[in-house]
Amino acid sequence: MGMVKSTNEGNITGFILLGFSDYPQLQTALFVVILILYLLTILGNTTIILISHLEPKLNTPMYFFLSHLSFLDLCFTSSVIPQLLVNLQDPMKTITYGGCVVQLYVSLALGSTECVLLAVMSYDRYMAICRPLHYALLMHLHLCMALTSLAWLSGVATTLVQSTLTLQLPLCGHHQVDHFICEVPVLIKLACVDTTFNEAELFVASILFLVVPISFILVSYGYITKAVLKIKSATGRKKVFGTCSSHVTVVIMFYGTIMFMYLQSAKSTYKDQGKFVSLFYTVVTPMLNPLIYTLRNKEVKEALRKVLGKILVIKFT
C-alpha cells in the first residue's frame, strides 16, 4: 500500500481510502457493478427531473419535491462514486486532503438535506390524503419552495458545524481511512485525542436529522393509514396505498442503512458491515429511487411515454 506524504506529524496532505482493500477479489466486480449502478442513477434521476418539468400534469407539489430528491441523489452520488471508482482501480487509493474536505462537506450537506426532504414529502402526502379539499390551497408553490429551502439550509448548516468540528481534530500523522468515503464517523476514529465531544455532537445531530424526521414520517403515515382505511372504495384504497408505498419504501431503505452508520459509536468494531451499509445508501438507494417512483406510479409512466413520444416525433419529422 502506498503512503501519502505529510509535511509534518500533524499536517496531513492526503489520505489513503482503504475502502475494500481487504477484499481484493471483489474489487473488479464492485467496480463494474458500481459503474453500472451509477450510470443508471444518472439516467433515472435525470429522467425524473426532466419529465417533472416537461409534463404539465406533473406540475404538482409531489413531483416538485420528487425532482428535488432526484437532483439531491445526482449530486450526492457524484460527490462519492467517481472517487470510489478511481480507488477501486488505483492500488494507491489516495485522495488529496482538499478532496477529502470537499467530499466531507458536500456529501454530509446533501445527505442531511435528503433526511429533511423525505420528511417534507411525507407531510405533502399527509396533506393530499387527509385534507384533500384544502390541499391545493395549502400546498401552494411558495410553501413548497419554503419547505425545500428549509431542507437545503438545514443540510448546509449541519455540515458547516459537524465537518468543521471534525476537521479541527488533530490526526497526529494518521492518514489511512478504513472506508471508501470521507465521512464524519470514520474521520473521528483517526483522531489522536479524546473525541467524546465530537461523538456527542454527532449523536445529537443524528437524532435531529434521523430520529426526528423518521418519527415525523411514521406519525404522518399513521394518520394516512387511518384515513385510507375509511375509504369505502377498494380501488381508491389501492391507488392511495400504491402512491404512499413508494415513499415508504424509499424511507425504509434510506433511513435504515444510514442510521446503522451514524447512530453507532465512533469506536464501533463493525467496520466491514459499515462499509457495505454505506455502499448501499450511497450507491444503491439513489439508483432505486427513480425506479420505485416510476414503476409503481401510473402518472409518471404515462408522462414518460408522452414525453418520449414527443421526442420521437420531433426526431423523425
Are 90 and 2 within 8 A, CB to CB?
Answer: no
Q: What's the whole-number mean pLDDT along residues 72-98?
A: 91
User: Sorting pLDDT into bands at 50, 70 and 90, what band is 213?
Assistant: very high
Categorize the per-residue pLDDT at 134 as very low, low, confident or very high, splitting at 50, 70 and 90.
Answer: confident
- If phi over 0 gives left and psi between -120 and 50 gives alpha, with beta otherwise, what is residue 12? beta
SS3 track for 224-262 = HHHHHHCCCCHHHHHHHHHHHHHHHHHHHHHHHHHHHHH
DSSP three-state, residue 13: coil
Burial 24-54 (b: 16+ CB within 10 A, else e): eeeeeebbeebeebbeebbebbebbbebbee
Share the mean pLDDT of the chain: 84
Determine how β-strand 94-96 pairs with β-strand 176-177.
Answer: unpaired
- Picking from 27, 29, 47, 1, the residue whose alpha carbon sits closest to that of residue 301 is 47
Model confidence over 166-198: pLDDT tens digits?
A: 999 998 877 888 888 998 988 998 898 999 999
Higher-scoring residue by pLDDT: 37, 2: 37
- pLDDT of 128 over the 50 cut: yes
Measured distance between the N- and C-terminal CA atoms of the chain, rounded to whole angstroms: 58
CB 96 within 8 A of CB 6: no
Domain ranges of the chain: 16-300
Q: Evaluate if residue 92 carries a pLDDT over 80.
A: yes
| Residue pair 134/51 in contact by the 8 Å Cβ criterion | no
CATH 3.40.50.2300 corresponds to the domain 16-300: no
**Cα→Cα distances 53→57, 127, 137, 307, Å:** 10, 22, 21, 11
Predicted confidence band of residue 19 (pLDDT cuts 50, 70, 90): confident
Contact 134, 68 (CB under 8 A): no
Cα(96)–Cα(177) distance, rounded to whole angstroms?
A: 12
pLDDT of residue 231: 75
| Residue 101 pLDDT > 60 | yes
pLDDT at 1 (0 to 100): 39
| Helical pair 61-89 and 141-167, crossing angle rounded to 10 deg | 30
What span, in angstroms and rounded, lies between the C-alpha atoms of 86 and 27?
11
Q: Would you tell me how many other CB atoms lie within 10 Å of the CB of residue 197?
A: 11
pLDDT of residue 164: 95
Confirm if 110 and 155 have CB atoms less than 8 A apart. Answer: yes
Q: How many CB atoms lie within 10 A of CB 153?
A: 12
242 vs 236, 249, 292, 293, CA distance in Å?
10, 11, 11, 10
